[in-house]
Structure 1
Amino acid sequence: MMNTEHGTEILRTMIRAMALLNNSVAKMQNQMSESEFVIYKQKVASIMGAISTDIIAEIYQEFPYFEPNDVDEWREAGGLDLPNWLES
């Protein structure tokens, strides 16, 4: 069992990791061949799925009030609207 502070930090980190992965897929779409991109996208989807089901879902199970209701709450939970969020 983790405490609220740890849950908050892990959730923020995982949301940020998923945002970085998502941005990477968007960048690579026009830089890779179609076949390379499909493979890359599948691998990233697998990683994001594991983050969602293996880490984030467990946090929500332990702390259901952490679960965001919409995209804005998701961005806020990850601190994605903060300036220089990669550095915080």
Structure 2
Amino acid sequence: MIGRRRKNLPKWRYDFNCRKCDNIQFIDDPARGRLGDYCVACVEAFDQGRPNPIHADDDRVVRCDCFRPIPEPEEEEQKEGEHT
């Protein structure tokens, strides 16, 4: 019996980059076994029993609800100029 080849699914894509997220901080919490860089929003959600903010949709794109991009220095200067 000859089987049909299944069509390969597209690769997973990430809609975010944790290295560019403003929520990432170094956490030293021996009581919970955390030592290293963690997403503060994800840790708080996990500790409160809320669902994981990282999810994948049907379009095979992984998204993080708590992603907040680190502001670029140029953007900060523009915002400061607007307030003065």
Specify the structure having the higher radius of gyration (Cα). 2
- Give the structure with the larger strand fraction: 2
Scaled by the length of structure 2, what TM-score is found?
Answer: 0.25
- Give the structure with the larger helix fraction: 1
